[in-house]
Amino acid sequence: MVTEPMRKSQPAKKKKKKTVGQRITRFALISLTAVLIALILFGGGYLLYAIATIPPYDTGKLDFDATSKVYDINGELIANLHGGQNRTPVPIEKIPWELQKAVIAMEDNRFYEHHGFDLKGITRALIRTLTGTRLEGGSTISNQVAKMAFLTEDRKLTRKIQEVFVTLRLERDFSKDEILEFYLNRLFMGGSAYGMQEAALYYFGKDVSELNLAESAMLAGIIPAPNYYSPYASMERAVAKQTATLNNMVRFGYITEEQKQAALEQPIVLADRSQKDKSTATSYFVNYVRDQVIEILQSKGYSLREAQQEVYTGGLSIYTTLDNRIQRAAEKGMKETIEQHLLPLLDNKEERNAKGILQPQCGLIILDVKTGGIRAMIGGREPNNDVHNRAIQLIKQQPGSAIKPLTVFGAAIESGKFTAASIIVDEPIYENGPDKPPYPVNYSRTYSGPVTLRYAVQQSLNVPAWKVGKEIGINKMIEFAKRLGITTLVDDASKPQNDRNLASLTIGALTHGVVPIEMAQAFGAIANKGVRNDTYAITRITDSRGQVIYEHRPRSEVVLSEEVAFILTSLLESPVNHGTASTVRSRGGYYGPAAGKTGTTDYNREGWFAGFTPDYAAGIYIGHDDTTTGLPAGDGTKGSLPSRSSSHISATMFGKIMKEVYSQQPVPSGFYSALPENVVQLPVDGKTGLLSGPYCPAEDIILEYFIKGTEPTEICMEHFLPTDPEEPQPGHSDNEEQPEDPNLPEPEPGNDDDDSEPGNGNRRPEGRGNGRNRTTR
């Protein structure tokens, strides 16, 4: 075997040592490379992160919060419902050309030429953001829309990158006009105004489509700082911005120098904001409507949160039954009545309860008799400091005698057991036992002896009402009141406190009381010839696109025969014409057709009037919210109102309101143009309730209405006259006094009554059955 000879090993070469400079250079190169790699990786990741976190949007539309509008029955705007931004979007076609060009001239003159962003402006903004210096302008209208609609206000690099990408997407997905429309509707314009429509209303009191060049230039000029440049803050600053805008419009060829000069010479007339929201009483109604809309939306599948959000941001148009003309009349009537007939009697005119609510309080509602639509609503005297709406919310407002037509007298007439001429003896009775004081007693603590049912209604006598109710029965009275729309009665006898008793139903000492809206609805059914309409406040709701999403469908029910409604209407005219509600005329000043009933509760705690004209039904309540304020009452607490009776205040208020309402529309001639087919009118003796006989004194004869079949058939023979052959026999003289037509007014002083203070009405008060009934058909 042959082997190679072993090579001689070579000695190792020595490494050349690097100098210090070489080592530093190498380290610097490696470090720089690492930094560049890190920057590339970080920048790429940051870019990817910025893109990934861009919020999604619907490519079909640019959306924003919009104010919902509430209108009255005549189309008059009564309220705006909005969250933090009061905005009414309008299409670009409604925005004047001058305003569009003024905004473009100031904000982005190349808007219709570029593709969404200005590279120079974006670069400058990026550098200044990175260096921490102040960020200047440079954003296009498209950039601003991207920020408004989808991005935050952060001035970080991430947001600036996102702005570029979103702007490009907007330019791809929407036309220039759509972007400009969104921008003009989204801008904050000072005060509570967002968008050009609200800005036009806020500054100039006109629709945006009505703006002229001078006004358009001023609005465009104040965009950068609307509260600072606002003409309300400084007209000088506003005019300076207007001038700058007009100069730009001339510079870019939108207008001529002559048009600019004409605009500068045109005077700027600002809106009269002192009258804005002068009436706050409608807030009770607006809040009621808001809650109704939320309920309607929930019935259509919205959650509570979604419904609330839609009301405040959905741009709904809500058309209501309120008549601002009648609302203003109600506010005026309430204010005048309280100032003239309540406050002068109070020692402490600014008394407040523990919740800080002004006392005493008031609640009223006025309904349209034919439809049930709410024409006016006042929930209290201090809407800005009170959330309780006494027109619709129950606070145990006891009705007193105001409930009698709905429980006692209506049921009595309907039963056929009683007529308007039925005689009831008004006398002391002892329902608590013969060894106890008389109970119940009349409000006056006096008695009138035999009286007609009409007189008992007219003078609000408790004893006759108790007797009639006792004969009619609890079941019939409760059923009648419920049929007319009273829902607050406690009909469960097993409950410790319930209304299945005469005290509740005949003199109004109810467990929970009543509310004005239900009293007005019930009395309105009487006025409407026995047809009860469901009360409602909203006629129609449309969404932001004008699509109808709700329309009211009237609901009515015949609850009384026409003849029963006619007799009740006639009976209820007596308190207004001659009795406890005579202040409707003497102090209220209303002398047209009216009917109604007063109610005063124990210790004069509450005063009521519930009644109607041929057109409107009303429920009016005055009282303290609790027993901690007011005058001392006989039970050791407080809560009493001043004066002998408080219901005259409510009746006066009704008269003042109707006087104002009918000063703006024709006064109706009466409730009925002719007698219902099933009603007859006959002369009767007011002391016996029988058909007038040949010897009945003329002053005792009254013309009374009866449902056919219930009229008396017996002739009164209670009166006898001595026969004198030289004098003509009764019944044979051509000059004999005949019963007077009830339609004829007879102006004489008013009467002392049992339920209110004396009035000075224009008609003679009826006697205890022997006065002539001035019923108006």
The set of catalytic residues is 107, 401
Q: Is the peptide bond before 344 cis (omega within 30 degrees of 0)?
A: no
On whether the CB atoms of residues 641 and 607 are closer than 8 A, the answer is yes
Alpha-carbon gap, residue 255 to 184, rounded angstroms? 20
Of 112, 621, 611, nearest to 338 (Cα)?
Answer: 621
- Give the C-alpha distances (Å, rounded to integers) separating 406 from 347, 409, 416, 560: 36, 7, 16, 11
Q: Which two tokens stand for residue 684?
A: 């009767």
Of 43, 53, 54, 44, nearest to 169 (Cα)?
Answer: 54
Alpha-carbon gap, residue 138 to 125, rounded angstroms? 7
List helix spans (H) across 618-695: 647-661
Of 360, 358, 351, nearest to 385 (Cα)?
Answer: 358
Strand pairing of 556-558 and 616-623? Answer: unpaired
Q: Letter for the amino acid at 176?
A: K
On whether the CB atoms of residues 575 and 598 are closer than 8 A, the answer is yes
Is the sign of the CA dihedral 556, 561, 563, 565 positive or negative? negative
10 burial (CB, 10 Å; 0-12 / 13-18 / 19+) is exposed
Q: Is the peptide bond before 739 cis (omega within 30 degrees of 0)?
A: no
Give me the torsion for CA of 132, 135, 138, 141, rounded to 10°.
Answer: 120
390 burial (CB, 10 Å; 0-12 / 13-18 / 19+) is buried
Of 348, 334, 394, nearest to 649 (Cα)?
Answer: 334
What string of DSSP letters covers 292-323? Answer: HHHHHHHHTT--HHHHHHHHHHB--EEEES--
List helix spans (H) across 555-619: 562-578, 583-586
What string of DSSP letters covers 75-99? Answer: S-EEEEE-SS-EE----GGGS-HHH
Q: Which two tokens stand for residue 56?
A: 């999604």
List helix spans (H) across 300-429: 304-313, 324-341, 404, 410-415
Of 463, 424, 409, nearest to 689 (Cα)?
Answer: 424
> ∠ CA(261), CA(263), CA(264), 5° rounding?
65
Alpha-carbon gap, residue 603 to 623, rounded angstroms? 11
What is the distance, to the nearest Å, from the Cα of residue 235 to the centroid of all Cα atoms in its chain?
A: 37
Who's near 282: CB < 8 A, 6+ residues apart? Answer: 78, 79, 322, 324, 327, 377
On whether the CB atoms of residues 567 and 413 are closer than 8 A, the answer is yes
Q: How many C-beta atoms surround the C-beta of residue 672 within 10 A?
A: 18
Q: Letter for the amino acid at 363?
A: G
What is the distance, to the nearest Å, from the Cα of residue 732 to the centroid of all Cα atoms in its chain?
A: 63
